[in-house]
């Protein structure tokens, strides 16, 4: 009985997710430039195979905002050549499988939040801007800059009928009472109310157009050396964005189901699904947060729900395609603008005034680069900038002090008179000893004059990198050349690390102690 209830719950979860996915698939397909059918078949193919082979049981996959933005750029860059577009998407899927084999999935959790925030808000703004022209009843444009520059002249050419449909769609999306929205998704309400109204009033607006009810034709990837740079760049972008998008959704699914997804297994499922999408000319995608949450809330607990959602969409395409072909593009524009608004990261926007300046700088950098350059550059710049700022902060936290420095802590730690008599200096490092702090370490040592023994205290160093080891080795050789005895205070781990790099015999005459008092007594 319990198994039967579980099956019914999963089927209902999949059915509900399919109802949500239908208008979004149509909208993302049109926005991508590949057509509404490509969007729906992307949801069907990826939705089925990502669930079948993936590692997040409740995840619903399909075309998403970030992936659609890149595909729209690919369609323009590759001159609508379906063979080249197929190759790009196929390569992206293969890259995702390779990411899984090299166990890259676990590293997504280390992407700093300001990078994710700037990226998601940037994608949201891009989706909104790209829908301005369809909202006004005009021909869509894939360039954010072109749309913004041409906006003043385009407003004068607005189709009132399209504008009214798009505005009515947004009104339904925003103002439908929550009790109704929980039962019937607002995108579906907008489609089923406004499409018949548009037909009844004989509005002269652009529609989706014919959607084939037969399975799409197969296109095999062909590697073209002439366009290989563009193809590889776009494929890497799709693979990385799909990976980030999917695994962030997997984390959301974990949080509401109290489960633990398998990131690398999930990437295999996504890679297989996107590779198959390419062969059938479908829009690639990723794990979709809203559809996944709806699936879980509706009873979905395992991969049956995701696979059933795909089968429901297939049935809808076969039997309801003639009706879907009459949907005005203005309605889809309204739906996508709401999607773009929902993607904006309100959690960060709510606290931006109080957030640390370096985090805000990273977020804004990623945000503007996402909108005006490209998504992969934005993520790359954000990660590099965050890393540099972390290095700077860790370096500032690291304290490097000499025993004759005028600091109270040093006076309390060492008997300065005794050290002076024996011509000993103690150089103490508190914090990370790495490439960021090695320069400060070097300047401290070179300022030492007229001593016989140098004690380098590493007992409060959590880690040492190769740059610091080489800096330490070079300075030891310099001190030994000046007949200055060197003693190092450290634990066994750091001692072993240093001795691994004893190729120049720098540590042959260095004494190691694990306690500073024993080091001073042993002189």
Q: What is the CATH number of the domain that holds 431?
A: 3.30.750.24
pLDDT tens, residue by residue, 352-401: 888 888 899 999 999 999 899 877 788 889 989 998 888 888 888 888 88
Question: Is residue 388 one of the residues assigned to a domain?
Answer: no
Would you call 33 helix, strand, or coil by DSSP?
Answer: coil
Whether 460 and 345 map to the same domain: the answer is no
pLDDT string in tens for the chain (523-residue length): 445 557 878 888 888 788 788 888 888 998 899 988 899 999 999 999 999 999 999 999 999 988 998 999 899 889 889 999 999 999 999 999 999 999 988 777 777 889 888 888 888 898 899 899 999 999 888 788 899 999 998 999 999 999 999 999 999 999 999 888 877 878 888 988 999 999 999 999 988 877 777 777 888 888 777 788 889 999 998 999 899 889 888 887 887 788 888 999 999 999 999 999 999 999 999 998 878 887 887 778 899 999 999 999 999 888 887 887 888 989 988 988 988 888 888 888 888 888 888 899 999 999 999 899 877 788 889 989 998 888 888 888 888 887 755 444 444 555 555 566 667 888 888 898 888 887 777 777 766 667 788 888 998 999 898 988 888 888 888 888 888 888 899 989 888 888 887 776 778 888 899 888 787 777 7
d(CA 291, CA 20): 7
Report angle CA 41, 46, 48 to the nearest 5 degrees: 100
Distance of alpha carbon 44 from its chain centroid, rounded?
24
Would you call 137 helix, strand, or coil by DSSP?
Answer: coil
Q: Which DSSP string do the residues of 451-519 spell out, in sequence order?
A: -SEEEEEEEE-S-B-HHHHHHHHHHHHHHHHTT-EEEEE--HHHHHHHHHT-TT-TTTT-EEES-HHHH
d(CA 83, CA 78): 9
> What's the domain count of the chain?
2
Whether 175 and 242 map to the same domain: the answer is yes
pLDDT tens, residue by residue, 177-206: 988 887 787 888 898 899 999 999 999 998
Whether 320 and 421 map to the same domain: the answer is no
Whether 312 and 458 map to the same domain: the answer is no
Whether 124 and 32 map to the same domain: the answer is yes
Contacts of 269 (CB under 8 A, 6+ apart): 49, 50, 51, 52, 53, 54, 55, 61
Question: Is residue 214 one of the residues assigned to a domain?
Answer: yes
Q: What is the Cα gyration radius of the chain?
A: 30
Whether 79 and 215 map to the same domain: the answer is yes
- How far, CA to CA in Å, does 280 sit from each of 34, 37, 42, 219, 273? 12, 11, 9, 6, 11
Whether 240 and 313 map to the same domain: the answer is yes
Which residue's entry shows tokens 């015999």?
505
Question: Is residue 494 one of the residues assigned to a domain?
Answer: yes
Domain that holds residue 412: 399-521
d(CA 494, CA 463): 8
Question: Is residue 278 one of the residues assigned to a domain?
Answer: yes
Question: Is residue 19 one of the residues assigned to a domain?
Answer: yes
d(CA 316, CA 107): 38
Whether 321 and 428 map to the same domain: the answer is no
d(CA 22, CA 128): 20
Question: Helix 466-481 to helix 438-446 angle, to the nearest 10 degrees?
Answer: 10
d(CA 508, CA 265): 49
Whether 331 and 422 map to the same domain: the answer is no
């Amino acid at each position: 009985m319990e198994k039967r209830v579980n099956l019914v719950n999963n089927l209902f979860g999949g059915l509900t997710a399919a109802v949500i996915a239908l208008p979004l698939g149509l909208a993302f397909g049109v926005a991508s430039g590949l057509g509404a059918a490509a969007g729906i078949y992307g949801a069907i193919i990826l939705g089925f195979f990502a669930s079948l082979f993936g590692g997040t049981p409740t995840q619903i996959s399909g075309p998403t905002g970030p992936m659609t933005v890149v595909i729209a750029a690919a369609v323009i860059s590759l001159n609508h050549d379906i063979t080249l577009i197929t190759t790009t998407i196929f390569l992206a899927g293969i890259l995702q499988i390779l990411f899984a084999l090299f166990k890259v999935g676990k590293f997504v959790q280390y992407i700093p939040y300001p990078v994710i925030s700037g990226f998601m808000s940037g994608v949201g703004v891009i989706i909104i801007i790209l829908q301005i022209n369809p909202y006004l009843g005009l021909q869509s444009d894939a360039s954010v800059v072109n749309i913004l520059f041409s906006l003043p002249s385009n407003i004068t050419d607005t189709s009132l009928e399209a504008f009214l449909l798009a505005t009515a769609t947004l009104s339904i999306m925003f103002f439908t009472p929550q009790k109704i929205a929980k039962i019937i998704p607002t995108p579906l309400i907008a489609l089923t109310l406004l499409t018949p109204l548009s037909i009844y009033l004989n509005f002269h607006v652009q529609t989706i157009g014919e959607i084939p009810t037969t399975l799409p034709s197969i296109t095999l990837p062909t590697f073209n050396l002439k366009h290989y740079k563009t193809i590889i760049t776009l494929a890497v972008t799709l693979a990385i964005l799909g990976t980030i998008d999917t695994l962030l959704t997997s984390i959301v699914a974990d949080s509401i189901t109290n489960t633990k997804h398998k990131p690398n297994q999930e990437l295999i499922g996504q890679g297989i699904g996107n590779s198959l999408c390419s062969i059938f000319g479908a829009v690639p995608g990723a794990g979709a947060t809203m559809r996944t949450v709806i699936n879980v809330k509706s009873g979905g607990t395992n991969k049956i729900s995701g696979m059933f959602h795909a089968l429901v969409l297939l049935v809808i395409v076969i039997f309801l395609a003639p009706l879907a072909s009459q949907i005005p593009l203005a309605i889809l524009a309204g739906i996508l603008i709401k999607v773009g608004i929902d993607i904006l990261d309100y959690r960060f926007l709510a606290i931006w005034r109080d957030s640390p300046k370096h985090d805000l700088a990273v977020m804004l950098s990623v945000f503007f680069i996402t909108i005006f350059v490209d998504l992969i550059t934005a993520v790359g710049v954000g990660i590099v900038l965050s890393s540099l700022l972390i290095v700077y902060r860790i370096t500032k936290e690291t304290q490097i002090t000499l025993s004759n420095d005028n600091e109270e802590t040093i006076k309390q730690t060492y008997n300065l008179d005794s050290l002076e008599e024996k011509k000993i200096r103690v150089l103490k490092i508190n914090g990370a000893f790495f490439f960021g702090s090695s320069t400060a370490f070097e300047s401290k040592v070179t300022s030492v004059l007229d001593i016989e023994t140098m004690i380098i205290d590493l007992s409060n160093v959590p880690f040492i990198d190769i740059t610091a080891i080489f800096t330490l080795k070079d300075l030891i050789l310099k001190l030994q050349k000046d007949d200055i005895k060197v003693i190092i205070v450290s634990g066994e781990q750091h001692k072993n690390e240093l001795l691994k790099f004893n190729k120049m015999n720098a540590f042959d005459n260095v004494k190691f102690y694990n306690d500073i008092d024993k080091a001073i007594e042993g002189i």
